[in-house]
Amino acid sequence: MKPTYEPVIGLEIHGELLTNSKMFCGCSADYGSAPEPNTNICPTCTGLPGAMPVVNKKATELAALVGLALNCSINKHNTFARKNYYYPDLPKGYQISQYELPICEKGWLDVDAPSPYPSTLTGTRPEGRGDSLPPSGEGLGMRVRVRRVHIEEDTAKLAHEKNYALIDFNRAGVPLLEIVSEPDIRTVETALDYATKVRAILRYLGVNSGDMEKGVLRFEANISVRPVGSDEFRTRTEIKNLNSFRALVRASQYEIERQIKIYEDGGMVVQETLGWDDVRGVTTSQRSKEEAHDYRYFPEPDLPPLQFSDAWIESIRSRLPELPEAKTSRFISDFGLTLSDARFLTSELSLANYFESVFAKSKSSAKTVHSWIAGEFMRYLNDSGVDIEEVTLPPESFAKLIDMVTEKNVSGNNAKVVLADLLKDGGDPQEIVKAKNLAQVSDEGFIQEIVTKILSDNPKEVDEYNAGKETLFQWFMGQVARATKGKADPNVAKELMVKGLEERRK
Ligand code: ADP
Ligand code: MG
Ligand code: ZN
């Protein structure tokens, strides 16, 4: 019988920090707005001899903030190190990074998908997910340990032309954070969940835009596979520069299968650094993996160690906002939302805030407000390409419209029409309903008249329905909607229609 294999995955996440200036000089870090290549540069970030680095204080604050958000401890004493390697986009011939003493260590992040480590949070597992436990895992745990978070600097950008390359140093020296997980991840689903949650946290903290298309956030997946039931850590490969969640998932799946095949064929996996070819859908060998000692790390002689006081660390901690996990729990306990509804709303801070302001003004249930936001509202954002931050519809107006549906003053379908108007041109929901003559009618006498007329106009359909063709019921309801321009209270109409059909049963 063939042994089955399980993957072991550790993720390294690189995220630029949203500071004004670069990590070790005063040049603007906003290389995206630079008018031209090589305009945000100085002797330090182009690696000229004798230029001295100076630490960006703001970057250390943001790094500590991320560390605290990821439940790390902050090293009060931490140091910079030189990571030596030659590469055309690294003008000094080394990268200033952190090695032995990173700014943050030993954190964790709870995820919904399986991992071998138990979570302290309970009730965070959504139904239907994570049912396939990691075969050698100890149980239902959903915790990924964060080994370290350290500060380094981004590289320049190369543009490869036909037989030469151009270099732009505007990005060189931009503060970069590296978040390294322990190899706790056992499924690609968990890797995706972890990466998604880290991105959401960075966005909540305002330290990174999460804009993967611009390359400000990049993933590297370290992958090995081992027979199910084994506890060994086998040789891993590292897939570099995954620039989207899709690439992370596809590359990991491909690499897991490639390694399993190697073992099944009796071969050995070689430790190496891989690239991901998104077009061909394959990982490609870039170089045999270097070991830490190949970099000849040594303490950066041009920078003093960072020394933090307890008071400083506490002042950073006090800046932590309510994070996605806490917000999710609050939305569940205070508003009675389901886990998946709460997760959806808290996936983006702006979405969570908008929901809360609409809900605060509304008399309807959180579930109802959620379904308007998750449904019609999101559809509008997706179709129009409008960002939620650009939405001008005041939460009060949205709340008023939702309440009009709850109070049966307008039908759900007609309210969608009103919402589209509100989102496009603003206005008052009540006035729009009046102007467009969309008010819902619950008056039984009025609806009964229409139902009776439809039933007597369509004897054939009535007979067919009563002979068992139940799908016709929707057709009858459609006739009511048509005759009343969607204004009849659907519950009243349904009740009267059921009764009418019943009476005509022979
Ligand atoms: P370094 O890069 O300093 O050599 P490691 O090699 O220990 O550090 O880890 C780098 C990344 O690879 C981490 O995210 C870690 O979780 C992951 N990793 C380490 N060993 C394995 C393994 N056997 N399989 C999969 N991932 C691993
Ligand atoms: Mg690495
Ligand atoms: Zn500079």
Model pLDDT for residues 243-258, shown as the tens digit of each residue: 999 999 999 999 999 9
CB of 414 closer than 6 angstroms to any ligand 1 atom: no
Quote the domain boundaries for residue 489: 444-505
CB of 181 closer than 6 angstroms to any ligand 1 atom: yes
Helix H, strand E, coil C: the string for 34-79 is CCCCCCCCCCCCCCCCCCCCCCCHHHHHHHHHHHHHCCCEECCEEC
H-run or E-run covering 397? helix 395-406
Collapse the DSSP code of 307 into the 3-class scheme (helix H, G, I; strand E, B; otherwise coil) and give the result.
strand
CB of 278 closer than 6 angstroms to any ligand 1 atom: no
Where does the pLDDT of residue 114 fall: very low under 50, low under 70, confident under 90, or very high at 90 and above?
low
Residue from 145, 179, 222 whose mutation best tests the ligand 1 pocket (most atoms within 8 A of CB): 222
pLDDT above 80: residue 65: yes
Residue from 182, 236, 274, 290 whose mutation best tests the ligand 1 pocket (most atoms within 8 A of CB): 236
Domain membership flag for residue 437:
no
Residues 38 and 84 in one domain: yes
pLDDT at site 289 = 64
Residues with C-beta atoms within 5 A of ion ligand 2: 12
Where does the pLDDT of residue 488 fall: very low under 50, low under 70, confident under 90, or very high at 90 and above?
confident
Helix H, strand E, coil C: the string for 431-465 is HHHHHCCCECECCHHHHHHHHHHHHHHCHHHHHHH
CB of 233 closer than 6 angstroms to any ligand 1 atom: yes
Q: What is the mean pLDDT of residues 59-78?
A: 98
pLDDT at site 126 = 36
Q: Pick the most confident of 158-162, 408-412, 481-485, 487-491.
A: 158-162
Where does the pLDDT of residue 506 fall: very low under 50, low under 70, confident under 90, or very high at 90 and above?
confident
The DSSP call for residue 374 is I
Residues 423 and 492 in one domain: no
Other CB atoms within a 10 A radius of the CB of residue 159 amount to: 10
C-alpha span between 168 and 158 (Å, rounded): 6
- Which residues in 295-311 are b (16+ Cβ under 10 Å) and which e? bebeebeebeebebeee
Q: In which region does residue 155 sit, left (phi positive, over 0), alpha (psi from -120 to 50) or beta (all else)?
A: beta
Is this structure's pTM higher than 0.75? yes
pLDDT at site 125 = 37
Domain membership flag for residue 324:
no
- The closest-lying atom of ligand 1 relative to the alpha carbon of residue 220 is 14
CB of 114 closer than 6 angstroms to any ligand 1 atom: no
Specify the range with the lowest mean pLDDT, choosing from 106-115, 206-215, 471-480: 106-115
Residue 473: CATH number of its domain: 1.10.10.410
The answer to whether 140 and 133 have CB atoms below 8 angstroms apart is yes
End of a domain among 405, 432, 459? 432
Q: Is 86 exposed, middle or buried (0-12, 13-18, 19+ CB in 10 A)?
A: exposed
The DSSP call for residue 83 is E
CB of 183 closer than 6 angstroms to any ligand 1 atom: yes
| Nearest residue by C-alpha to atom 2 in ligand 1 | 292
C-alpha span between 429 and 422 (Å, rounded): 7
pLDDT at site 142 = 77
User: How many secondary structure helices (H) and strands (E) does the chain include?
Assistant: 16, 16
pLDDT above 80: residue 431: yes
What proportion of the chain, given as a percentage, has pLDDT over 90? 76
Residues 353 and 400 in one domain: yes
pLDDT at site 324 = 94
Q: Tokens at residue 190, please?
A: 């968990």
Domain membership flag for residue 2:
no
Residues 274 and 414 in one domain: no
C-alpha span between 26 and 42 (Å, rounded): 8
The full length of the chain comes to 506
Specify the range with the lowest mean pLDDT, choosing from 114-128, 285-299, 378-392: 114-128
Q: Which residues pair with 166 in a beta bridge?
A: 159
Residues 306 and 376 in one domain: no
Q: What is the mean pLDDT of residues 38-59?
A: 97
Specify the range with the lowest mean pLDDT, choosing from 46-50, 114-118, 157-161, 294-298: 114-118
CB of 25 closer than 6 angstroms to any ligand 1 atom: no
| Mean of all residue pLDDT scores within the chain | 90
Residues 209 and 352 in one domain: no
Domain membership flag for residue 326:
no
Residues 187 and 214 in one domain: yes
H-run or E-run covering 104? strand 104-110
CB of 223 closer than 6 angstroms to any ligand 1 atom: yes
pLDDT digit string (tens) for 201-242?
999 999 999 999 999 999 999 999 999 989 999 999 999 999
pLDDT digit string (tens) for 273-282?
999 999 999 9
Where does the pLDDT of residue 409 fall: very low under 50, low under 70, confident under 90, or very high at 90 and above?
confident
pLDDT above 80: residue 293: no
For residue 147, give the ligand nearest its CA.
1
Residues 138 and 15 in one domain: yes
Residues 102 and 214 in one domain: yes
pLDDT at site 2 = 57
Residues 127 and 49 in one domain: yes
Dist. CA 95 → ligand 3 center (Å): 14
Residue bearing tokens 């061909």: 280
pLDDT at site 19 = 98
CB of 259 closer than 6 angstroms to any ligand 1 atom: no
Q: How far is CA 406 from CA 292, 332, 346, 438, in A?
A: 63, 22, 24, 15
Domain membership flag for residue 48:
yes
Residues 425 and 491 in one domain: no
Count: domains in the chain: 3
C-alpha span between 156 and 89 (Å, rounded): 5
H-run or E-run covering 13? strand 5-16
- The closest-lying atom of ligand 1 relative to the alpha carbon of residue 291 is 4
Dist. CA 102 → ligand 3 center (Å): 23
For residue 221, give the ligand nearest its CA.
1
- The closest-lying atom of ligand 1 relative to the alpha carbon of residue 292 is 4
Dist. CA 129 → ligand 2 center (Å): 30
C-alpha span between 111 and 324 (Å, rounded): 12
Q: Which position has the higher pLDDT, 136 or 162?
A: 162
- The closest-lying atom of ligand 1 relative to the alpha carbon of residue 224 is 24
Collapse the DSSP code of 6 into the 3-class scheme (helix H, G, I; strand E, B; otherwise coil) and give the result.
strand
- The closest-lying atom of ligand 1 relative to the alpha carbon of residue 184 is 16
Domain membership flag for residue 47:
yes
The answer to whether 59 and 151 have CB atoms below 8 angstroms apart is yes
For residue 230, give the ligand nearest its CA.
1
pLDDT at site 383 = 92
Residue bearing tokens 């990268």: 95
pLDDT above 50: residue 422: yes
Dist. CA 229 → ligand 3 center (Å): 52
Nearest-10 Cα torsion for 273, 198, 211, 179: -40
Domain membership flag for residue 327:
no
Where does the pLDDT of residue 458 fall: very low under 50, low under 70, confident under 90, or very high at 90 and above?
very high
Where does the pLDDT of residue 124 fall: very low under 50, low under 70, confident under 90, or very high at 90 and above?
very low
C-alpha span between 158 and 88 (Å, rounded): 8
Dist. CA 215 → ligand 3 center (Å): 20
Q: How far is CA 383 from CA 285, 373, 380, 387, in A?
A: 40, 14, 5, 11
Domain membership flag for residue 281:
yes
CB of 182 closer than 6 angstroms to any ligand 1 atom: yes
C-alpha span between 388 and 382 (Å, rounded): 10
pLDDT at site 290 = 67
Residues 203 and 129 in one domain: yes
- The closest-lying atom of ligand 1 relative to the alpha carbon of residue 223 is 25
pLDDT at site 413 = 86
